[in-house]
Chain A
């Protein structure tokens, strides 16, 4: 169902048991590793790692199918467009040229270009599952408590967790309003011209904003009435104490980042890993 998109999934797995803070820090460490390198060995390692974590956290394929389809469409488009605009970029980077075959004119397919694009493709593909794992396995309130613990104001933390919480509701509202407007004749499918479709989205956004404001007024009154914002501090029911595994997980991810940096500066001496020389 559409509404289940982006929502926290309550299960009891190793990943779910980690504190939200641990997951956030691990996410940042691993993503930085991927961003700081073009070494396909490291990237593939992180990709396998995120695949394994996905398996451990029992995320079902049906939950991520839709998102995965969008991501793949984007990546494949990106793959071809990169080739279209810079067919020789790989050669430029790696400094060698191994031709495979010619399409026409300057469009020659080289091993270097394929290797470069494949690396780039895997970079995206290894980071995205990490993000999904974070969203699906982190209890928003527990995450808010983690943020609070590292010094972020509890108001900010709560606002963030409420946003995550209400995302499914608002997307449900969007869906209902969109259907009701379509019933009045609004064409939202590919049949309509792009400009019309943009105009039509406005016809959905206005009611959506008003319903969301109603929601916000109600929830903020409910929170006020139960003493939210009373003191400078508050405690958290959902807070998880940091355990040994939390520190170990963060340490493991830090090691991955350090290895990445080491490989970059002392092994490859470059951003790129070059198998051609």
Chain B
């Protein structure tokens, strides 16, 4: 479906170098985007895809300075001569973190922000806001504070806020980050609707399978500041290059490749709905029969017992309602569920940050309520989602040593223990480095190290891989897996269904303050009803197995995960 008409965006031999960087971030970009097209720009972190987005919306060179080579025209204007405001009339940008970008106190006011800056009179503004709110279906929430809305509603408000400017091009910078799986799906459907009304849509995202939930016209793959591929999704996927460039391909395709199927453009691999199953059925059956193994049962010893916890912030709305769960020694368990279901609250109760209204937390049979927060750190450690919320020292060594220094441990012992932990966390070479020199993933490891050094029995991580591309994700998760194999019990709070499926043994599913399920994670993701209730998403592996008429689809998913684990360990 190529639109050969009007070109709205045109990069010609375009390059960009930030003043603060020694090397250019973008090289030789040649790209034409046509009116009404829906484009996906994918690439690992550091590939330059966000920089490309910032060049389009004018943040480069207006907010982030640097040198531009070649040219970029948007709707006939050369961006070098355009102001941020000229461009904001052409391109509307929905930034990654919808929470952080709300300016207005109410939904209506936030939508009106661009109009206010355009000096639109108040009565005219009210009419326009109403109209846009109707389009994105948020008209019943106009008086609410945007922060009180659900994740999906927030997306609608952000979208309305840029659409109100009557822009023809919409740019979405990682729209799926921070959304639970079901909300992400709804967001993609919403974007699709907007696109079919004639807007040009550009989506920057590395979660390809989720974006391909709705069809897109063209997929642009970036790596190291260059365009590697620019073609239809079917053709890009058939080239089998995603994994090479550190991006995850759709899981059902990985399964097909494991089964020895040669994925071609003709099979229409871009979506499971279009995938030509006739060619896959036989190899998938054969692979399953060859690799299936009976499930092993392990005897488990309880470590952390969460018993009948009730909690409410204001005494009215229950955030946790009689929640009980057990974590066994050496397990890696995930806590999943929709935004606001009480996952983080539960973690904060386990660490003692919050006191439950009733119920108890026991570790090795010992009630933890008698300990202060800092005393509990020897039993339960928590790593917050944002490493910037934890780091308070300039040197890596000091940051990791902080917990021990406060406890008055002798400097010699500190030196020994920090060196050990750094080795475990792969930070040895950075021993004398400042933290500012590290990447996000490395900072994350520093925060994990700074908690691990206190030897907690249970390590809790809140969204450990949020906003990470596949390569960094794998790096962090393989590191956690190694810790787990060495006996560390780990509890993960996550939205990432892949993470849960691939890395954890079991999932505790929370929804609207109650525990909905507590079972093997592949069982959770194969249960359509449960997924619906907890805003999760059925795994495409299960759907593939069903489509291929495999008699035991659950067994197929289990078999795939085991095989994938061994296969990847083999690669490492």
Contacts and interface: CB of A to CB of B under 8 A. Distances in A.
B95 A181 contact: no
A40 interface: no
B417 to A, nearest CB: 14
B391 A238 contact: no
Nearest to A168: B147
Interface stretch (A22-30, A87-95, A125-133, A226-234): A226-234
B445 to A, nearest CB: 16
Contacts of A179: 348, 351, 353, 373
A176 B450 CA distance: 17
A64 B301 CA distance: 49
A260 to B, nearest CB: 35
Interface string A153-193: 00000000010010000000100110111111111010000
Contacts of A185: 374, 377, 402-403, 406-407, 454
A224 B122 CA distance: 21
A221 interface: yes
Interface in B77-125: 84-85, 88, 92-93, 95, 97, 100-101, 103-106, 108-109, 112-122, 125
Most buried by B among A140, A177, A186, A235: A235
Interface in A206-248: 206-207, 210-211, 214-215, 218-231, 233-239
Most buried by A among B113, B121, B165: B113
B103 A186 contact: no
Interface residues on B, range: 35 or more
A113 interface: no
B389 A207 contact: yes
B129 interface: yes
B171 to A, nearest CB: 9
A162 B105 contact: no
Given A141-B109, A182-B374, A222-B95, A211 B381 contact: no
Contacts of B125: 235, 237
A220 B121 CA distance: 24
B382 A183 contact: yes
Interface stretch (B55-63, B67-75, B499-507): B55-63
A162 B351 CA distance: 33
Contacts of A221: 59, 63, 95
A219 B101 contact: yes
Nearest to A177: B389
B77 to A, nearest CB: 16
A233 B117 CA distance: 8
Given A221-B63, A224-B63, A226-B113, A173 B392 contact: no
B389 A211 contact: yes
Contacts of B112: 237
B389 A176 contact: yes
Nearest to A238: B109
A203 interface: yes
A88 B84 CA distance: 67
A227 B117 contact: yes
A197 to B, nearest CB: 12
Nearest to B105: A141
Given A219-B101, A230-B85, A235-B116, A184 B388 contact: no
B162 interface: yes
A33 interface: no
B84 A183 contact: no
Interface string B374-401: 1011000110101011111100000000
A211 B95 contact: no
A272 interface: no
Given A218-B101, A228-B117, A229-B117, A173 B353 contact: no
Contacts of A187: 374, 406
B389 A235 contact: no
B117 A226 contact: yes
Contacts of A220: 63
B59 A224 contact: yes
A227 B103 contact: no
Contacts of B356: none
A8 B106 CA distance: 12
B451 interface: yes
A184 B372 CA distance: 11
A277 interface: no
A137 interface: no
Given A224-B62, A224-B63, A231-B117, A186 B384 contact: no
B413 interface: no
A237 B58 CA distance: 26
B391 A210 contact: yes
A184 B450 contact: yes
A113 B539 CA distance: 78
A226 B390 CA distance: 32
A204 B101 CA distance: 25
Contacts of A233: 119
26 contacts: A1-B314, A10-B106, A10-B145, A176-B384, A182-B374, A183-B376, A183-B382, A184-B406, A185-B377, A204-B392, A206-B391, A210-B388, A211-B388, A219-B100, A219-B103, A222-B103, A225-B59, A225-B92, A230-B85, A230-B117, A234-B117, A234-B119, A236-B116, A237-B113, A237-B126, A237-B129
Interface of B: 57-59, 62-63, 84-85, 88, 92-93, 95, 97, 100-101, 103-106, 108-109, 112-122, 125-126, 129, 143, 145, 161-162, 165, 313-314, 348, 351-353, 372-374, 376-377, 381-382, 384, 386, 388-393, 402-403, 406-407, 450-451, 454
The 10 closest A-B pairs by CB, nearest first: A222-B101, A185-B406, A237-B112, A227-B117, A184-B403, A218-B100, A226-B114, A206-B392, A179-B353, A203-B392
Given A184-B406, A210-B391, A228-B113, 11 more contacts: A162-B103, A181-B390, A185-B454, A187-B374, A203-B402, A211-B388, A226-B113, A226-B117, A226-B165, A235-B115, A238-B104
